[in-house]
Amino acid sequence: MIDTIMDASPAACLARARASFEGLSVGDAFGETFFARRTRIAMRVIADDITWRWTDDTAMALSIMEELATRADVDADALAIRFARRYQAEPWRGYGGTAHGILTGIAEGIPWQVAARAPFDGQGSKGNGSAMRVAPVGAYFAHDLARAIDVTRTTARPTHLHRDGEAGAVAIAVAAALAARIAAGLAPRDPAGFLAAIYEHTPTSLTRDGIDLATRLAPDTPVTQAAARLGNGSRVLCDDTVPLCVWIAAHHLGDYEHALWETVTALGDMDTTCAIVGGILAAGGAAIPADWLARREPLPVI
């Protein structure tokens, strides 16, 4: 779906992607602070005594942002090299074991098509890494949903060739694009419709099945109960992560702070779930608290 009303100029597209990336990176850093401070979640006490360090979620999103900024597109070969070089520079950012293997292989000269195929008995990775980094792509191409989906598939391939790896990325990019369209007044702020549209565009997969379940979950379900039904990223898989993230985003469009507190309350893979939810909501114009931005570790210049 191409919308000629929405500004599709490179400057406007990149501005939307940057806004989403800010939300992603702050969410990532916010969620990361609670792994050693879970007692603060119930009291909603932020970790103001430390710098909020971002993780591999933001590092990989940086590589995608560089592609969008330099070519208004994503080239899989170039992206694979960016991923590997950034990993080599800072391997301590929290990359998972599967990512370590794939990115080390690429850095050593193994073609990404070979390195990415290795996990899960040759099916490729279905981890949530494909989804955690991709909201800015949906924001960038919010004027053209088909293009957003196509480019999202490209961003997934260098590391996630499994059906669910691709499906998780597509679902989050679609969510970010829809959030941006809602913010522009091109779609109603309707949680049920938001979830239904994400489900419609997500490829057949376990992740899509989870989103289907999310569409039937009552909006007032406590987030801990929702996580018990949908997953909270504890298995670090797309099907265990994406359904809860889109459900939280659907019911908190416009309210970044409350949505992120709900997300960490679900526990699990908190840096990644918060990165995903933060990227979607910021794509839709949700305001990031200024003090949260100030606490996040500075980002490299794109």
Structural domains for the chain: 10-295 (1.10.4080.10)
Q: What is the DSSP string of 21-65?
A: HHHHHHHHHHHHTTTT-THHHHHT---TTS-B---HHHHHHHHHH
Q: Which of 275, 239, 241, 236 lies closest to 259 in space, CA to CA?
A: 275
Q: Are 210 and 243 in contact (CB under 8 A)?
A: yes
Closest residue by Cα to residue 171 from 140, 204, 144 = 204
Q: Smallest Cα–Cα separation from 162: which of 204, 101, 209?
A: 204
Distance CA 255, CA 288 (A): 9
Per-residue pLDDT of the chain (302 residues; tens, 9 = 90+): 556 588 999 999 999 999 999 999 999 999 999 987 776 776 687 877 789 999 999 999 999 999 999 999 999 999 999 999 999 999 999 999 999 999 999 999 999 999 999 888 888 999 999 999 999 999 999 999 999 999 999 999 999 999 999 999 999 999 999 999 999 999 889 999 999 999 999 999 999 999 999 999 999 999 999 999 999 999 999 999 999 999 999 999 999 999 999 999 999 999 999 999 999 999 999 999 999 999 999 999 88
Nearest residue to 126 via CA among 156, 88, 94, 89: 156
Which distant-in-sequence residues (6+ apart) come within 8 Å of 224 by Cβ? 265, 266
Using alpha carbons, select from 261, 247, 256 the residue that is nearest to residue 284.
256
Q: Whats the size of the chain, residue-wise?
A: 302
pTM of this prediction exceeds 0.85: yes
